[in-house]
Structure 1
């Protein structure tokens, strides 16, 4: 065929959200891990959710939209290496990396980002769950990933500096003023887009990560402010992970805390490990991901 149909198709494509370009039947449940700040624990959270769902007997696909940094992809590669080199018998997801487009024009970049994400999602569409790890920066590809979310989990370090990602906090005339950030506005836009497309609403969950084990005033103040923000921005609060060395130690082997009952991992369980694993299970429960498969 000639060039006639290309312009119309491109216009139609631009007018639809990516979720409308994917099959509406037999779709996996899509969980997006998102935060525009790096170092919040997105990839660690993603890998633990993946392992939890695999251990429950679900088929899981995963997409790394932060492919250039590729922390989740390296985590999964390390897991595969542990299976190959040490016969650990670890369950594996189907995984895809999606690189951000480097085309010359904005229109070309957007078209390629859409095509690449759609291709990756379609290759994983037969799974029960699809986990999408997004970059710690704002980009068109990241926004596309967020638009697919049925559940959006946002890890954030437990500090006022990181809370700025959700809202800017100021005190004016002894009154607290909260102004939604660009990330919160972006999530709101994706919620509106899904409503227009008659897609299920996004269940947004914010998890407080790297929690201090000391009951400090800063920690209590964060809890109060996040409670205000949860009502205003319409998200749910969930328990996150404490600041523990074990999370960094497991990465080179591609392990999660949920794998440690496997004797072939060679990791001796300690009380700290047990407490950390309970933190993971509390998050899964809050996100509704603990129901055993029938």
Structure 2
């Protein structure tokens, strides 16, 4: 019988900027790799911060997710190794910012990433994490069509839940029209300060509103998480003992555990 193993694909997305989305993609990817999973990060953000944060300089991005989506470049030609074992990246450049205009009338425009991630080159991975842009653009819709589930970083600050309803509506629309299996993996609280009453209130509001969708793991405010990208590495490589690194290890373990439980027969 042929091997039908395929990667589990998570879109890391929130249309609100500055919530720790790229930090989560990079460090969750590194944590999953540390736990033995083979991981690909797909940088779908024109800012290319995940690519920079994993050591792929702008001058070394000859084949990127732009070529993958708009020029039919094979995924195998886009994937790059990182300095972390079992962690690879498909890098991005600012060329992606023109995607909505260039694909505006193309009939299959929302399925381009799904098709690209159906190739043999994707099948060697256990997890694929898509780092989405901070908007509900055509790039984000491509990610939602291609993925199995959505992971939403939610900053523990005032107005955190504002705008989340629009993302949920977009997820519902994509589920109804293009990806019936799409689900919410969970919401992860980021930049959490347990000494701060506001962080505690945001958590209480999020859990009251979203229930079990809010993951148990909270990502703290941590200077090592902020410093690591300037050294072009995940926090787990920069300072594996830091609270930020340990939190992402906990998040990876929680996600793996949740997935294992869902696979158990009823």
**TM-score, shorter chain, exceeding 0.5:** yes
Matched, 1:209 2:193: no
SS in 1 for 2:111: helix
Q: Contact 1:53/1:289 (CA < 8 Å) preserved in 2?
A: no
| Contact persistence 2:151–2:186 (CA under 8 A) | yes
1:194, 1:113 → 2: CA distance? 8
> Which one of the candidate residues 239, 243, 251 is aligned to 1:275?
243
SS in 2 for 1:57: coil
Deviations 1:12-36 (A, max 9, x none): xxxxxxxxxxxx9432111211100
State TM-score, norm by structure 2. 0.73
Q: Which is further off, 146-155 or 89-98?
A: 89-98
Whether the 8 Å CA contact 1:155–1:240 is kept in 2: the answer is: no
User: Residues 189, 72 of structure 1: CA spacing in aligned structure 2 closer, same or farther, 3 A cutoff?
Assistant: same
Find the counterpart in structure 2 of residue 130 from structure 1. Answer: 128
- How has the CA–CA distance of structure 1 residues 195 and 71 changed in structure 2, closer, same or farther, with 3 Å as cutoff? closer
Deviation at 1:64, TM superposition (A): 1.0
The structure whose Rg is larger is 1
Deviation for aligned residue 1:44: 1.0
Cα distance in 2 between the residues matched to 1:117 and 1:77: 26
- For residue 136 of structure 2, give the secondary structure of its aligned residue in structure 1: coil
Q: Distance in 1 between matches of 2:199 and 2:12?
A: 23
2:224 pairs, out of 227, 242, 246, with 246
Residue 207 of structure 1: CA displacement? Answer: 1.0
Total equivalences in the alignment:
229
- Aligned partners of 1:101 and 1:113 also within 8 Å: no
Which of 58, 77, 88 aligns to 1:94? It is: 88
Partner in structure 2 of residue 186 of structure 1: 170
Aligned ranges for residues 1-294 of structure 1 at < 5 Å? 25-66=4-45, 68-77=46-55, 90-91=84-85, 93-97=87-91, 99=96, 101=99, 103=101, 106-108=104-106, 111-112=108-109, 114-115=111-112, 118-119=115-116, 122=119, 123-166=121-164, 181-193=165-177, 196=180, 199=181, 201-216=182-197, 218-231=198-211, 235-260=213-238, 273-288=241-256
- 1:106 CA displacement: 2.2
Change (3 A) 1:228 1:213: closer
- Segments of structure 1 that go 5 or more residues without pairing to the other structure are 1-23, 80-87, 167-180, 261-266
Contact 1:230 1:237 in 2 (8 A): no
By how many angstroms is 1:45 displaced?
0.7
8 Å contact 1:33–1:132 — kept in the other structure?
A: yes
Deviating beyond 6 angstroms after TM superposition, the runs of 4 or more aligned structure 1 residues are: none
